[in-house]
Amino acid sequence: MTDPDSPFHPIDAARLSDAVVAQIEALILQGVLRPGERLPGERDLAERMGVSRPSLREALAAMQADGLLVARPGSGVFVADVLGSAFSPALVRLIARHPQAADDYLTFRKDLEGLAAERAAIAAGDTDLEVLDRIVQAMRHAHATPDPQAEAALDADFHMAIVEASHNLIALHMMRAMQDLLRQGMLFNRPRIFASPDLRDRILDQHIAINDALQMRDGPQARAALEEHLDLVAQTLSAQRRADDHAAVARLRLHNRPGS
C-alpha cells in the first residue's frame, strides 16, 4: 500500500532502474534526501516505488558507483556527502581570523537570501509557508525563555527554510553548506548575538516582519525585511569586534603596568 506521505512514488518506465535513479537523484537535488540520510530498507523502498527488488538493486548499485549513495554493511544505504563543505577547514580558520572575510560572507548571504526571499514569496507552496510560520511561532516561544540557544538554532532553521521555499536547487545547496558553518559557530557565535535582551527583541520583530511579508506573498517587502535583518547582524558583529579589541588592549595595558 502506498504511503501518501512518502517522497517516493511508484515507477512507470520501460527501464525501471533508470527511472529509480532519476527519482532518487531528484530527491537529493531538491534537498528532500539529505547527506547522511538512510534510505528505507530494500523491501520497503521497492514496494513504495513499485519496482522489483532486482531493479532497485541495479539502480542503487549504479548510484553507489556514481558516488551518490554509500552502502554501510549492517546499517543500510545512505546518501553520500555529495555536497561536502563549501570551505576547507584551512579556509574557515583563515576567514575567522580576518573580519573583512567574515563581512564578505555576510554580504554574500544578504545577496543570496534577499533574492531567495523575493522568489519565495512567489514560488513557495502552502506547505513552505506553513513551515516558515511554524518556525516563527517556535521562535516566539523560545524568546520567552532565558536561554538564547534554542532561539539561535531556530534562526538558522528560518533562514534555511526561506531558501528552501524559493525552490532554487543551486541556492539551496549553497545555503546548506554555509548554514553548516553557522550552526557550528565557525564564523561567529550565534547565541552571543541573542545575548542582549533588546537585540533579541529586535531580531524577533525582524523575523516576524520577514514572515509576514512572505505570508502575504509580497516579494519586494520580504527582500527588504531580510536585508534589513542581515544588516543588523553585520552591525552587531562589527560592534562586538570593536568591544573585544578594546578589551584586549585594556588587558594588555594592565599587564604591562609597572608592578603588575
Q: What pLDDT, on a 0 to 100 scale, did the predictor assign at position 180?
A: 62
How many angstroms separate the CA atoms of 243 and 105, rounded? 21
Q: What pLDDT, on a 0 to 100 scale, did the predictor assign at position 16?
A: 83
How many angstroms separate the CA atoms of 6 and 33, rounded? 12
Cα 235 versus chain centre, distance: 22
How many angstroms separate the CA atoms of 214 and 151, rounded? 20
- What pLDDT tens digit does each residue of the chain (260 aa) get? 556 677 776 665 557 888 899 899 888 877 778 788 899 999 999 999 989 999 999 999 999 999 889 999 889 999 987 655 566 666 766 776 777 777 888 899 999 999 999 999 999 999 999 999 999 999 999 999 888 888 888 998 999 999 999 999 888 888 877 766 666 555 566 667 777 788 889 999 999 999 999 999 999 999 999 999 999 988 888 887 777 666 666 666 666 666 65
Residues 6+ apart with CB under 8 A from 29: 169
How many angstroms separate the CA atoms of 167 and 35, rounded? 18
How many angstroms separate the CA atoms of 94 and 101, rounded? 8
Residues 6+ apart with CB under 8 A from 8: 23, 27, 40, 45, 48, 49
- Give the SS3 label for residue 6: coil
- Residue the block writes with cell 562589527: 238
Q: What pLDDT, on a 0 to 100 scale, did the predictor assign at position 101?
A: 76
- Residue the block writes with cell 534555511: 160
Q: What pLDDT, on a 0 to 100 scale, did the predictor assign at position 248?
A: 62
